[in-house]
Chain A
Amino acid sequence: MTGTLLVGLYVFVLAMFVGFEIITKVPPKLHTPLMSGSNAISGISIVGALLVVGRGESPLMHWIGVAALIMATINVVGGFVVTDRMLRMFESKDAN
């Protein structure tokens, strides 16, 4: 096992612990926004898609990259926007 993979595993395990620690006692009201917001974050694979498209290697790779890029962007943009829309509904209601 190389050092890079090992470091990656360390980062992964520690980040999982961070994830479990920071999300404690989420009120039911926020279950959906938490899910759709964190879902948008999982669209981070857009970074990988950008690299695949940007390297411009073979035509097959190109189209795989473009497909990944479009889907990741839908995930990211749609996820953040819809979460914002939901949270606004909660907000305006609490202000009343």
Chain B
Amino acid sequence: MGLTTGIELAYLVSAALFILGIKRLGHPDTAPGGNRLAAVGMLLAIAATLLDRQIVEFGWIIIGIAIGALIGLVMARTVKMTAMPQMVAVFNGFGGAASGLVAIGEFLRIQGSGVPLEADSGVSIMAGTLIGAVTFSGSMVAYGKLEGIITGNAIQNSFIRAVSILLAVGSLGAAGYLVGLRPDLLVFFALVAAALVLGVLVVIPIGGADMPVVIALLNSYSGLAASAAGFVLENNSLIISGALVGASGLILTSIMCRAMNRSLANVLFSAFGTGVAGPSAGAVGDRVATPIEAEDTAMILGYASQVVFVPGYGLAVAQAQHKLRELGDLLLARGVQVRYCVHPVAGRMPGHMNVLLAEANVPYSELCEPEDVNPDMENIDVAVVVGANDVVNPLARDDPSSPIAGMPIIECDRAKTSIVIKRSLSPGYAGLDNPLFYKPSNRMFFGDAAEVLAKIVEEVKEL
């Protein structure tokens, strides 16, 4: 058995470890072990690669790994849980970029050697370059939107759409030219540039509330980019791992779409969040939202028997998860039944709210999903909406013409009392007015979620 066979077998083992690892990541009890198993698989793949005889230069390998590991470690250790979506977006982008660069490197190598580009490797190289570049620039835009550097609103017009189509067609044409006719360096760089711009234009039109879908989709792309790099290098380990990630990203994407009752095409192209309000927009002036202050809120909560908290993106922005838990614990100590109801698309990435609540040490037994709470909503004394909007908007249920029609919501409007903690009456990212705010059973508590919760905590202590 030669060295090459040994390396191949090591790759096979690492692929098996990835499969086991991902499988375990899907179940609560086995997830930590699954992650570690996948990490071992990665270590094995790296070690095997270093034994490859093609590798003659180790100095820069050590330097590169040291720099990357240091940056990755610091980022992973110091990131705030509220900023998790941004970091996942950055990592996605880097993974895509690495795959794309591998494909680009291979193109330059073949091009430089003067050997004609074969159809097989040519197609793989083009796919790797395109997907990698789109994943990279798309993820960077997603990062910019999540970090607030780029407006979170959907920016969409027919110009962007036309340019996107043009770029997509153009880069496919360029890829065809490079593989079929001549591997021209300038055309290749034009293709890279077009793919980078395309990635920007694909994500720019998507509004903040649809970010969970985009993040999951980019996650899937980063896997497909790795697969494409695997085709370029004829390395099955990359092909398998990339396909696994591609599949898991697609599954998450579809879960997110279902939670909003929208198709993927609708999310990508429908320009949600352009601020065009629904039919009820003009009615705002006629209705009155009743405000409430800390003392009354504390009274209502302190003497309730069942309270449900509904966290949303506003909780993350205000970093109010610890205050929320403090309030929840105070109420529990008073004998109130407290639950936290998490909507699958609340926040800016899949599972965003769960991560925040876990950080604040909210026990898993107190978490629940919309379908656990909705049937029983009439018996709930107070539903407290903390920084959420669209996921509690009754229009989704009542108005078939609404853009969010049919999206499963947490029906707080059916609770005995609802209290919405929010900065203002402004519409959510879907750009829709929310009738819940004006219901007689609803009270608005205006302000930053963390400050508001802190005031309520003080008042509950006084009771």
Chain A residues within CB distance 8 Å of chain B? 1-2, 4-5, 8, 11-13, 15-20, 22-58, 60-62, 64-94, 96
Contact = CB atoms under 8 A, between A and B. Distances in A.
Contact of A45 (B88, B215, B226, B367): B226
Contacts of A62: 60
A48 to B, nearest CB: 4
B244 A19 contact: yes
A29 B299 CA distance: 32
Contacts of A32: 84, 88, 349-352, 354-355
Contacts, number: 383
A80 B95 CA distance: 13
Contacts of A71: 68, 94-95, 97-98, 101
Interface residues of B, number: 115
A15 B349 contact: no
A25 to B, nearest CB: 8
B238 A48 contact: yes
Contacts of B71: 70, 74, 78
B192 to A, nearest CB: 11
Contacts of A29: 28, 351, 354, 358, 364, 367
Contacts of A89: 81, 355, 358-359, 361
Sort A-B residue pairs by CB-CB distance and give the 6 closest, nearest first.
A73-B68, A19-B247, A54-B55, A31-B351, A78-B72, A77-B72
Interface stretch (B228-236, B272-280, B311-319, B404-412): B228-236
B42 A81 contact: no
23 contacts: A4-B234, A12-B243, A15-B15, A18-B243, A18-B247, A19-B22, A19-B244, A23-B22, A30-B26, A35-B215, A35-B252, A38-B249, A42-B226, A48-B98, A48-B233, A50-B52, A52-B101, A71-B94, A73-B72, A74-B72, A75-B72, A82-B79, A94-B363
A90 B28 contact: yes
B342 A53 contact: no
Contacts of B233: 47-48, 51
A92 B405 CA distance: 39
Contacts of B240: 11-12, 15
B102 A45 contact: yes
Nearest to B358: A89
B232 to A, nearest CB: 7
A73 B351 contact: no
Contact of B238 (A47, A64, A65): A47
Contact of B95 (A37, A39, A64, A93): A39
